[in-house]
Amino acid sequence: MQGVWVEGEVSNYIHHSSGHRYLNLKDERATIKLTIWRSVGGYLKFEPENGQKVLAFGDVTVYEKGGNYQLNCRKLVPVGVGELELAFRQLHEKLEAEGLFTAERKQELPPFPQKIGVVTSPTGAAIRDIIQIARRRNNSVELIIYPAQVQGDGAEKTIAAGIEYFNSRQDIDIVITGRGGGSLEDLWPFNTELTVRAIAASKIPVISAVGHEVDTTLADLVADLRAPTPSAAAELAVWSKREMAERLDAYSRSQASQLEQMVSLARRELSSLLARPVFARPLDLIAQRQQYLDSLSRALQTAGKNSFEKSSNRLSLSLARLETLSPLNILARGYAVSRRLPKGSLIRSVKDVLPGDRMETVLADGRIKSFVEETKSDSADDR
């Protein structure tokens, strides 16, 4: 039985290491085995899943060893959802789980690129738009075009090859890849795993410019920057010479204005300083300092003289007091001091000596040595 369409639910799906795929298609009443050879499976846009409803087109044959009927599949499409839409959803979930769409892995675009690589069709409207915008913004930025197929079977291989080529060079600052708008089938090369992984592996920042603004591809999600159109990509990548000149002119005017303000302020400050008395009559300040110094000198002399006089008066008073309290003066008034010999101990009472003791009497004009013949006390106890 040749060219048969069979609809059913996928079960027991196996993707063998040989590349062949084996599964069962079943409904409420029957089951048939289905084989997808490796040569056919390479053209599948999506990966079958258990429980999924599909339409299989192929030839019914008999597997003689097992005695079973099977369908050798030549085409497989999902039921209820488009084949490409399902393939898009499956690949999106796979790559998102790997973290290829995260903001952390995206690279910043250099602000002033000199060479930009463009991976697109050399005859399409996209490249014409990019060249036109680039020449208008800055004709000194060089565009290097890698001719790629952007539609149809095998297009993703040329797109990936272009990205890899520019990464092999050392002089490319940014890579733009894209095409004009179209249907999901037309844009499919930018939804393939090969293209997405080539963009993710690029060491050069990549701008994705695929289709119109309403179209979103997996290449848009993985690129370092998404532009809604090829023209917008050129606007984002090529820095404007006119805008740069305007910025430099504005910066120059701003700097000149700031310098003028600084000079004006410095002049006002200088004029204020020169108007001060120290600069108008500098000798007045010196005379004031000399007068102040003379005043300090006189104050110092006066303070020194007063201090000397006070010290001299205190010294004279102390000498007078010492003179008054001097034992010599007491002796000069007729008093005497007696000491017992030989130790010279002071005699304060008649009890300090005995008859026969030697003693010395100190007078104002000399000393008298004598012997004690007799002692007599004048105290009341002795009377």
CA angle centred on 289, ends 283 and 293, rounded to 5°? 145
Q: What residue has token string 């008859």?
A: 355
Distance CA 227, CA 180 (A): 12
Specify the pLDDT at position 377: 79
Q: Does this model's pTM top 0.85?
A: no
Is the Cβ–Cβ distance between 32 and 55 less than 8 Å?
no
Q: Is residue 199 part of a domain?
A: yes
At 172, the amino acid letter reads: I
Counting every residue written for the chain, the total comes to 383
The enclosing domain of 25 has a CATH number of 2.40.50.140
Q: Same domain, yes or no, for 95 and 230?
A: yes
Q: Same domain, yes or no, for 212 and 142?
A: yes
Specify the pLDDT at position 326: 67
Beta-bridge partner residues of 208:
177, 226
Q: Same domain, yes or no, for 53 and 119?
A: no
Name the residue among 46, 37, 32 with its Cα closest to residue 4. 32
Q: What are φ and ψ of residue 203, in 5° steps?
A: -85, -15
Q: What are φ and ψ of residue 307, in 5° steps?
A: -65, -40
Q: Is residue 300 part of a domain?
A: yes
Specify the pLDDT at position 383: 42
The enclosing domain of 161 has a CATH number of 3.40.50.261
Q: Same domain, yes or no, for 69 and 123?
A: no
Domain coverage including residue 184: 90-239
Distance CA 209, CA 171 (A): 22
Query: Which of 51, 80, 109 is the C-terminal boundary of a domain?
Result: 80
Specify the pLDDT at position 68: 83
Q: Same domain, yes or no, for 152 and 233?
A: yes
Name the residue among 183, 167, 187 with its Cα closest to residue 175. 167
C-alpha dihedral, 311 to 314 to 319 to 320, nearest 10°: 150
Distance CA 236, CA 308 (A): 94
Q: Is residue 267 part of a domain?
A: no
Is the Cβ–Cβ distance between 7 and 49 less than 8 Å?
no
As for how many domains the chain has, the answer is 4
Q: Is residue 68 part of a domain?
A: yes
Q: Same domain, yes or no, for 121 and 66?
A: no
Q: Is residue 335 part of a domain?
A: yes
Q: Is residue 270 part of a domain?
A: no
How far does Cα 9 stand from its chain's mean position?
56
Inter-CA distances, 290 with 34, 194, 293, Å: 119, 94, 5
Q: Same domain, yes or no, for 302 and 339?
A: no
Q: Same domain, yes or no, for 184 and 295?
A: no
Q: Same domain, yes or no, for 99 and 188?
A: yes
Q: Same domain, yes or no, for 42 and 132?
A: no
Q: Same domain, yes or no, for 97 and 146?
A: yes
Q: Is residue 250 part of a domain?
A: no
Burial (Cβ within 10 Å: 0-12, 13-18, ≥19) of residue 73: buried
Specify the pLDDT at position 351: 83
Specify the pLDDT at position 363: 81
Q: Same domain, yes or no, for 114 and 39?
A: no
Contacts of 322 (CB under 8 A, 6+ apart): none
Query: Which of 322, 356, 374 is the C-terminal boundary of a domain?
Result: 322
Q: Is residue 110 part of a domain?
A: yes
Residue-level pLDDT, tens digit, the chain, 383 residues: 888 888 888 888 889 888 899 888 888 888 888 999 888 887 777 788 887 788 888 889 887 877 788 889 888 887 765 667 777 788 888 898 999 999 999 999 999 999 999 999 999 889 999 999 999 999 999 999 999 999 888 999 999 999 999 999 999 999 999 998 877 778 889 999 999 999 999 999 999 998 765 668 899 999 999 998 999 999 999 998 888 888 888 888 899 899 989 999 998 888 887 777 766 677 777 777 888 888 888 888 888 888 888 888 888 888 777 767 666 666 666 677 888 888 888 878 888 888 888 888 888 788 888 888 888 877 655 54
Distance CA 158, CA 198 (A): 11
